[in-house]
Amino acid sequence: MARVRFAPSPTGYLHIGNARTALFNWLFARANKGSFILRIEDTDVARSKDNFIDRILDDLKWLGLEWDEGPAKGGPFAPYKQSERLKFYKEFADKLISEDKAYPCYCSDEELKEKRAEAHKAGKTPRYDNRCRNLAPEDIEGFKKNGVKPTLRFRVPEKEIVIKDIIRGEVRFDTALIGDFIIMKSSGMPSFNFAVVCDDCLMEITHIIRGEDHLSNTPKHALIFEALGYKVPGFAHMSLTMAPGGDRLSKRTGAASIEYYREAG
């Protein structure tokens, strides 16, 4: 049975682009006699607000996009708010560490910022140089004694990733261009890329339908699915909804919000 999800971040109001993504997921679920899951991605503690969650739910109901599982309805894979699912992310992170598929990184924000600046200056795409991949035990012990809290990075294997996108066809990625990426922050919170995959695994999502701005995240997601021992779902990356002037619609564009159209009648 098809299982799709719409996973907004409550950092602003629902806008037309979000609503379009929700609609396509809802239509796919209904056409395939599947389930439409609503998941709230609120791990950005500083920007996520409960009033935005309430408004997102109201806007989806106003649009007639009722969800089968999610906030206010529950379901077999509850809870459906990421901030209430932290134990699952830790369990998966521990699994990757135990299998040597992830490792602690002690690089400071300043060091990483400096490396990014050097890459930009050289006309190169910034990429983590994997310097913490094989730290000596004494170096790790030294960081611990100094109270340095590490992030956790995914150990990216050298391979070509082939995604058979429902809309775009075959898309290929070379992992040599990615670099080891963060899956858990030093605060203990998961990164976006890690949390969404963990949830998609546990909620048995079969198809991921989203905007093309997420295409660059897809190789990372595929790697995490495989590392955790789960089947990679089907992907469909849609074109973005643009404003009349050609700019991308965003939460910061007030006229693009569903609230604007509700109030306008």
Active-site residues, by number, are 251
Omega prior to 79 cis, within 30 of 0: yes
In order of 4, 37, 61, 251, the CA distances from 78 in angstroms are 15, 11, 20, 27
DSSP for residue 107: -
| Helix/strand/coil percent split, the chain, to 5 | 40, 20, 40
* 55, containing H or E segment: helix 50-62
Amino acid in position 3: R
Helix axes 86-98, 218-228, angle to 10 degrees: 70
Q: Quick one: which of 192, 8, 190 has its CA closest to 94?
A: 190
Say how far apart CA 92 and CA 188 lie, in whole Å.
13
DSSP 3-state assignment of 44? coil
DSSP 3-state assignment of 145? helix
